[in-house]
């Protein structure tokens, strides 16, 4: 069942992101990500299967473009359509807000997921992604 995040999901979502993302950067701490997102809006989605939180996605929408962040599925539940459901359902939620374009970024080391996103209609754009850390 795809739905918005509820406070009861906190431990399971932290477990999911900790299991999937090998990242020690402070800004990627799962508990901080949840807290920071919920201070802004509630575009945080989860997918449950038989009582287990198996997949999740943070969405962003600035009134012009949407973004997908931290899309993850527990390794033992991959290749069963859960990631496809969470991505397409999140895109639908953004579309209902008026979003006409959805972006995402894939880490350079995670090339195996590129074909998954292409199968959902995403394509590589000729863009240079840049960032700056303002809190570290």
The reply to whether 131 falls in a domain is no
User: What pLDDT is attached to residue 28?
Assistant: 83
The answer to the question of residue 26 being in a domain is yes
Phi, psi of 130 (to 5 degrees): -130, 155
DSSP 82-102: HHHHHHHHHHHHHHHTT---E
CATH assignment of the domain containing 14 = 3.40.630.30
In a domain, 124, yes or no: no
User: Do the domain assignments include residue 10?
Assistant: yes
Cα gap 20→4, rounded to integer Å: 20
Give the pTM: 0.91
Domain membership of residue 34 (yes or no) is: yes
Angle at 26 between CA 127 and CA 18, to 5 degrees: 90
Structural domains in the chain (count): 1
Q: Answer whether residue 59 shows pLDDT above 90.
A: yes
Cα 83 to Cα 110: distance, rounded to the nearest angstrom: 15
Please give the residue range of the domain that contains residue 26: 2-119
Decide if 130 is inside a domain. no
Among candidates 108, 63, 113, which has minimal Cα distance to 87?
113
Determine, yes or no, domain membership for 96: yes
Q: Does 85 map to a domain?
A: yes
pLDDT digits (tens, 9 = 90+) for 13-51: 999 999 998 776 777 899 999 999 999 999 999 999 999
Question: What would the pLDDT profile of 74-104 be if each residue is shown by its tens digit?
Answer: 999 999 999 999 999 999 999 999 999 999 9
């Amino acid at each position: 069942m795809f739905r918005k995040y509820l406070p009861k999901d906190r431990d399971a979502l932290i477990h999911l992101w900790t299991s999937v993302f090998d990242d020690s950067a402070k800004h990627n701490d799962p508990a901080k990500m949840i807290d920071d997102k919920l201070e802004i809006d509630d575009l945080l989605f989860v997918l449950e299967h038989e009582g287990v939180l198996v997949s999740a996605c943070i969405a962003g929408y600035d009134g012009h473009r949407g973004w997908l962040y931290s899309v993850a599925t527990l390794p033992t539940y991959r290749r069963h359509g859960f990631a496809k459901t969470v991505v397409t359902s999140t895109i639908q939620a953004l579309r209902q807000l008026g979003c006409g374009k959805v972006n995402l970024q894939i880490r350079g080391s995670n090339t195996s997921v590129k074909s998954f996103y292409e199968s959902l209609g995403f394509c590589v754009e000729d863009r240079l992604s840049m960032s700056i850390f303002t809190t570290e």
